[in-house]
Structure 1
Amino acid sequence: MRSGILRAAVPLFLSMVTTTLGTLVVTSVLGRHATVTLAAFAVMSAVLNPASAAVVGALRGLAPFVAPYKDAPAAAVPILRDARWLTLLVGTAGALAVLCVPMLARATGAPAEVVAELGPLPWLLALYLLVFASGGGANTVLVALGHSRQVLWSSLAATTAMIGCTVALVPPFGLAGVGVAWLLSGVAGVAVSNLCLRRALGTRVGQARPRIKEIVRLGRVSIPLAGTVLIKFGGLGVVTFAASATGTRDVAAHAVLSTLTGFIMLFSISVAQASVPEVARAADVTQARRANRTAALLALAGTAIAAAVLLGFGDSALMLFSDDPSVRERAVALLPLMLLASTADGAQAVQGIGLTALKRSGASLIYFAAGYGVMVAVAAPVAAAWGLAGLWWLMAVTNGVLVVLQGTGFHRHSARVGAVSVGA
């Protein structure tokens, strides 16, 4: 089981790394184009990132419904048709949120030149979200059916389109060029992933009349998962605002540490996603818990390797993110604490995604609302009293609490595995 999860996790990890590199290239090109362009993109990202994450979360909720059909994939087609209706609804909601960015920017006091710089970008990115959602979670389905290697091809296609179009279009067109690059990237990724899915199924998915009852059943898993992602992004945003009150160099160090956390989490998320089919297909409680335990151990091992590399290179690694010695000094001092918080975050993510595999993402939503609710409430006082170190201790403790809550929840809900039918 361990080798199976690891084999499935590696292409997912490479896919996430590829996507991350594409995003870094976009940021770099924009930063060299004009400061106001980068500022406008940052304003857009404040809404685009959680909206995209919510759509991704909703798509990942399909995995436990599809995983039992690994040996007869064509039988899952009716579920995939229902899923397309659900994902289009979520994508439409995300697109509407993106279209509201100029209004939100003006309401929050963003400079007029930054708002004007947005131009057609909100419309282009709204179309991107609709295109992405129209794919119906093809990559999630490929992973659930045991074809995780195919996910890498769609990621490569999307990232190649993103980088190529960004480099070619941003110098003459600015943010409009980014919007076109993002849209074409979405089209390329969805086209390749759905081509791979058609080959895996042996038939085309197509579309059918919506089956409301079945769509609601999918939504009971997908929508809470999307809500959990929104809570996490929102909570981390509040922590960033709290960090901004501690000083310019402190918030810069916080940004560096947060970026490193994102990289460290990639492997944990990959392993957690790879374990979903194993948990969803488990015949009894022992198999489900073994798959979850294996994923947790692999995630911890990956985090330990990343931690060893970061601690070994220390200041040298941080020079990639900042040329300010004071910022690097603050980040290096907090590096062990960041690694503690990241380790706990990776562990709780495995348990939370395990709950999704059991179709109990609603429980994970409740745990996150409780844990992050407290964190959000005390973030500002903690920052005022203990500075940036206090905030990272707060995140470490919050993630530790979530490990306990999500782990306990998985143990409780996994006790029902084998006592219910596959389609329940």
Structure 2
Amino acid sequence: MISVKSFTVMLSKSAPLMLVLAADVFGIAVLTAILGNSNHAALAAFNLIAVFFITGSAAIAGVVRGIALEVAPFKEDHASARLLISDGRWLSLVVGATASCCMLALPALSTGINVDQAVINELGFMPVVSAAGLLLQGLAGGGQASLLALDRSQDVAWSGIADTLIVLSLGPLLILGLGPVPAMGPTGAVAALVGASLASMIVANWRLVKVVGKTGMRKPRWGYVVEMAKLGLPISANALMKLGAFAVVAATVSTIGVVPAAAYAIVLSLSSFITLPATAVGQFAGPDLARQAKSENYRTFRTNSRQAQILMVVLTVLASLLMIATPISGVYTSDTSVQDTLRGSLVVFAVAALFEGLRVMPNYELTLMKRKALTTLIFGIGYGLLTAYMVSPMPKSLMSVGVAVLVVNLGVYVAQFYAAAHAVKQLTKVSAPLR
């Protein structure tokens, strides 16, 4: 039964993670604003790197979520949880190394698709720094996700504090320079992001050791690694299809011109505030749903999932309205041409971000109910069509790109929502006790 008390509990327990994500998004927003008020080409280059970096991070995060969902049922059995986390690190390391190699290929890819030369010139050492960050993420093996799986959301907040402090201190220093520290521009922004990510991972794994003891990288138990891969790789593949498509979107916008590319970088930063509540609630609810799915308690699974979805809708709609109603975009740049371009497409991208956030929970449900092939098919069709439009010779503007993203996000959400609702209904009937 859905109650106000259950909503309050879910909101209070997901609040620490929400603050962590908010701090992370705020840090990137500060870096974007500094670059946006100095150099449009630098901002566009930073956005291009950031989109590909986030895509690689999402691939690692997808695998890590699979590890966390395997760890979740062992909330009270720390010895078993410790072994599973160690096994999972091998899987995340492989994915991190692959993402790192892809990042190093970005300059050649940018040249091949005719990204504006001014943007390419600003890439500098950013791909190398970002590749190192992705490799470190893979090696860390998802301390935050494991803490959430063990219902230690308050411990996650410490890693968020470390992340924010590093971004806010190193970011301005490395971008603008001070004293003996030279101004590094967008390379400094990426270095600050990687440094913050490293600090966050160190703190999260330190807190994890406090909970379950040393995990390290023991000799892998390949049977368990394969089981984690079966759960985590589809999540990772879905994230790659979606964010891979958005990486193509970022590259395509960079071919339109420096001003649209700068405006798109600001749109992405603002959109992150909209998807943030849904991501936090989804990551908190996921391990709990995993425990219920493992015990085949689908009635409770359905009730808790509905609670999470309702909370997501309320928080995400409020975030969307806040983004549209406030003149916050002016903080990012004083350039009127960028502001005019941004103003025309902001509402479209805000609604697109709304549906992107809402599809988090149906995606979790389908994965936990072993409907991974179905959700992969939905992602493949939706984001495959978006990619096809982006690489087509049709003329494009930032507005047309925004409309395409909105249509695809809406279609993917509706398809996943109805597929998950149908699957839950079927499993609830099967698992219902005989009368």
The TM-score normalised by the length of structure 2 is 0.82
In structure 2, what is the Cα distance between the partners aligned to 1:58 and 1:72? 22
In structure 1, what is the Cα distance between the partners aligned to 2:332 and 2:347? 18
Give the direction of change, closer, same or farther, for the CA distance of 1:257–1:400 in structure 2 (3 Å limit): same
Q: CA deviation at 1:300?
A: 0.7
In structure 2, what is the Cα distance between the partners aligned to 1:131 and 1:324? 37
In the alignment, residue 82 of structure 1 is paired with which amino acid? Answer: D
In structure 2, what is the Cα distance between the partners aligned to 1:107 and 1:379? 15
Aligned to 1:365: 376
Asked whether the 8 Å contact 2:46–2:189 carries over to 1, the reply is no
Give the direction of change, closer, same or farther, for the CA distance of 1:157–1:367 in structure 2 (3 Å limit): same
In structure 2, what is the Cα distance between the partners aligned to 1:222 and 1:345? 20
Q: Secondary structure at the match of 1:61?
A: helix
Asked whether the 8 Å contact 1:198–1:205 carries over to 2, the reply is yes
In structure 1, what is the Cα distance between the partners aligned to 2:357 and 2:345? 18
Aligned to 1:199: 210
Q: CA deviation at 1:212?
A: 2.0
Give the direction of change, closer, same or farther, for the CA distance of 1:359–1:79 in structure 2 (3 Å limit): farther
> Residues 212-231 of structure 1 correspond to what in structure 2 (within 5 A)?
212-231=222-241
Q: 1:350 aligns with which of 346, 354, 361?
A: 361
Q: CA deviation at 1:363?
A: 3.2
Asked whether the 8 Å contact 1:53–1:229 carries over to 2, the reply is yes
Aligned length: 416
Aligned to 1:277: 287
Aligned to 1:15: 20
Q: Secondary structure at the match of 2:202?
A: helix
In structure 2, what is the Cα distance between the partners aligned to 1:253 and 1:39? 9
> Residues 388-407 of structure 1 correspond to what in structure 2 (within 5 A)?
391-407=401-417
Q: CA deviation at 1:301?
A: 0.4
In structure 2, what is the Cα distance between the partners aligned to 1:105 and 1:281? 44
Q: CA deviation at 1:116?
A: 6.6
Whether 2:280 is the aligned partner of 1:267: answer no
Q: CA deviation at 1:275?
A: 1.1
Aligned to 1:290: 303
In structure 2, what is the Cα distance between the partners aligned to 1:190 and 1:252? 30
Give the direction of change, closer, same or farther, for the CA distance of 1:124–1:309 in structure 2 (3 Å limit): closer
Asked whether the 8 Å contact 2:362–2:417 carries over to 1, the reply is yes
Give a deviation string over 1:124-172, Cα, whole Å, max 9, x none: 3322222222221110011111111211211211232233233334421
Q: 2:52 aligns with which of 47, 50, 71?
A: 47
Whether 2:316 is the aligned partner of 1:306: answer no
Aligned to 1:83: 88
Give a deviation string over 1:153-200, Cα, whole Å, max 9, x none: 112112322332333344216166556544432332121101111122
Q: Secondary structure at the match of 2:331?
A: coil
Give the direction of change, closer, same or farther, for the CA distance of 1:129–1:297 in structure 2 (3 Å limit): same
Give a deviation string over 1:245-291, Cα, whole Å, max 9, x none: 88887766655544432211111111111110221111411111112
Asked whether the 8 Å contact 1:162–1:181 carries over to 2, the reply is yes
In structure 1, what is the Cα distance between the partners aligned to 2:35 and 2:256? 28
> Residues 308-347 of structure 1 correspond to what in structure 2 (within 5 A)?
308-313=321-326, 316-323=327-334, 336-347=347-358
Asked whether the 8 Å contact 2:104–2:127 carries over to 1, the reply is yes
In structure 1, what is the Cα distance between the partners aligned to 2:339 and 2:191? 36
Q: CA deviation at 1:121?
A: 3.9
Whether 2:163 is the aligned partner of 1:150: answer no
Asked whether the 8 Å contact 2:116–2:258 carries over to 1, the reply is no
Asked whether the 8 Å contact 1:277–1:357 carries over to 2, the reply is no
Asked whether the 8 Å contact 1:220–1:362 carries over to 2, the reply is no
Q: Secondary structure at the match of 2:152?
A: coil
Q: Secondary structure at the match of 1:168?
A: helix
Give the direction of change, closer, same or farther, for the CA distance of 1:254–1:39 in structure 2 (3 Å limit): closer
In the alignment, residue 23 of structure 1 is paired with which amino acid? Answer: I
In structure 2, what is the Cα distance between the partners aligned to 1:254 and 1:113? 16
Aligned to 1:211: 221
Q: Which deviates more from structure 2 when the two are superposed, residues 40-49 or residues 4-13?
A: 40-49
Give the direction of change, closer, same or farther, for the CA distance of 1:178–1:393 in structure 2 (3 Å limit): closer
Give a deviation string over 1:49-91, Cα, whole Å, max 9, x none: 3212222222222222111112323321121111000000011
Q: Which deviates more from structure 2 when the two are superposed, residues 28-37 or residues 58-67?
A: 28-37
Q: 2:242 aligns with which of 232, 243, 249?
A: 232
Aligned identity (percent) is 27
Q: Which deviates more from structure 2 when the two are superposed, residues 28-37 or residues 268-277?
A: 28-37
Asked whether the 8 Å contact 1:150–1:196 carries over to 2, the reply is yes
In the alignment, residue 367 of structure 1 is paired with which amino acid? Answer: I
In structure 2, what is the Cα distance between the partners aligned to 1:250 and 1:38? 11
Give a deviation string over 1:384-417, Cα, whole Å, max 9, x none: 59x6655544433323322232123323544447
Asked whether the 8 Å contact 1:272–1:354 carries over to 2, the reply is no
Aligned to 1:60: 65
In structure 1, what is the Cα distance between the partners aligned to 2:367 and 2:206? 26
Q: Which deviates more from structure 2 when the two are superposed, residues 349-358 or residues 329-338?
A: 329-338
Q: CA deviation at 1:360?
A: 4.4
Q: Secondary structure at the match of 2:359?
A: helix
In structure 1, what is the Cα distance between the partners aligned to 2:273 and 2:32? 16
In structure 2, what is the Cα distance between the partners aligned to 1:350 and 1:68? 19
Tell me, which stretches of 5 or more residues in structure 1 are unaligned? Answer: none
Aligned to 2:3: none
Tell me, which stretches of 5 or more residues in structure 2 are unaligned? Answer: 1-5
Give the direction of change, closer, same or farther, for the CA distance of 1:373–1:164 in structure 2 (3 Å limit): same
Q: CA deviation at 1:378?
A: 4.3
Give the direction of change, closer, same or farther, for the CA distance of 1:273–1:173 in structure 2 (3 Å limit): same
Q: CA deviation at 1:34?
A: 6.1
Q: CA deviation at 1:373?
A: 2.0
Q: Secondary structure at the match of 1:204?
A: coil
The CA RMSD over aligned residues, in Å, is 3.5
Give the direction of change, closer, same or farther, for the CA distance of 1:115–1:280 in structure 2 (3 Å limit): same
Q: CA deviation at 1:97?
A: 1.4
